[in-house]
Amino acid sequence: MTREVLLRVDDLVVGTRDGEGREVRLVDGVSFEIAEGEVLCVVGESGSGKSLTMAAVLGLLPTGVEVLSGRVEYRGEDLLGASERRLRELRGRRLAMIFQDPMTALNPVKRVGAQIARAVRLHGDRMTRAEGDRRAAELLASVGVPDAAARARAYPHQWSGGMRQRAVIAAAIAHDPDLLVADEPTTALDVTIQAQIMELLAEARQRTGAAMALITHDLGLVAQTADRIVIMYSGRIVESGSVWELFDTPRHPYTAGLLASLLTAESASGRAYAIPGSPPQPAARPAGCPFAPRCELPTKSERCRTDVPALRAMAPGHTSACHHADSVSSFAQEVTR
């Protein structure tokens, strides 16, 4: 059964200005879709543009950064042209954000339960303070907070990092949103707590039917969670496809390198693979493929240094922005030995 497209992003460009007033593109021509109930993982190193892309979708770009062009649609509604009032309505009820650091989402001088109750009231649920407190306790209990009514009276600093993240998730799912945007939700948590948070997100999605955009650099989480993956590098999408296609048959050397760094525990040498070099600064991207200076693909050519590769179909639903995509699979096998 074909699922309805929930979110459509088309040729999105996000930028800023340098010290001399020149335009710098931080996100450059990004396009993707998320269907109802789907999990899309957006993967890339720090600075790849993945968080900025989703911030632009939600109208949460930092000061000095703006959408330069493109289109973002939620159920056919143009979000980039929407008023701030309309965006607040959507962010509270239909589009929910789970931030990387829950301490940035929670007010340190307000009790946790009071903050959740206020979030519920702000987005249309009229209730007394007592009703708000009960609703906050219910939401906290639903995400596994023990003795929720009592714990709701505590301040954020009195909660552990994992418990604070549960509180943020409780607020996010209060109105059964259509889409959860989770930005590195397990960063700085230990492995056991990471697993609990991901299980909690899966349970919340199952309960509400929400789709999810998971922003991460952790391919282990991707393998367990994703329906489809978007790989970003230097502000652009370099590969996209189903989780099976990208793990089994990567068609971009950057994807192959990321997978090799994950899978080397099974390699004969036992040594970890590391992609050489570092990503370029947005204002100093190479003229051709942005990954070319780091690429170890044996078939790399002069064209890689001069021509920007366009995303092209490798198979239905599987795209790659590599001039030599057909030779990546053999390279991937070589670096994972």
Alpha-carbon gap, residue 60 to 58, rounded angstroms: 5
pTM above 0.75, yes or no: yes
Q: Considering only residues 122 and 154, tell me which one the structure prediction assigns the higher pLDDT.
A: 154
- Residue that the structure tokens 């450059």 belong to: 28
Query: What is the pLDDT confidence band of residue 239, given thresholds at 50, 70 and 90?
Result: very high
Alpha-carbon gap, residue 20 to 15, rounded angstroms: 14
Query: What is the pLDDT confidence band of residue 294, given thresholds at 50, 70 and 90?
Result: very high
Angle at 193 between CA 145 and CA 119, to 5 degrees: 45
Strands 211-216 and 39-43, bridge-based pairing: parallel
Half-sphere exposure of 55 (CA within 13 A, CB side): 18
pLDDT at 270 over 80: no
Alpha-carbon gap, residue 132 to 199, rounded angstroms: 27
Per-residue pLDDT tens over the stretch 22-56: 999 999 999 999 999 999 999 999 999 999 999 99
Q: Which of 81-90, 118-127, 191-200, 309-318 has the lowest mean pLDDT?
A: 118-127
**Residue 119 confidence (pLDDT):** 84
Which neighbouring-strand residues pair with 313?
319
CATH of domain 5-226: 3.40.50.300
CA 107 to chain CA mean position, Å: 23
pLDDT at 307 over 80: yes
pLDDT at 136 over 60: yes
- Residue that the structure tokens 């009820």 belong to: 93
What residue ranges do the domains of the chain occupy?
5-226, 250-335
Burial 286-315 (b: 16+ CB within 10 A, else e): eebbbbbebbebebbeeebeeebbebeebe
pLDDT at 191 over 90: no
Per-residue pLDDT tens over the stretch 317-331: 999 999 999 999 888
User: What count of other Cβ atoms lies within 10 Å of the Cβ of residue 87?
Assistant: 17
Alpha-helical runs (H) found in the chain: 50-58, 84-93, 102-105, 112-122, 129-142, 148-151, 161-172, 191-208, 219-225, 243-248, 253-263, 302-306, 328-335
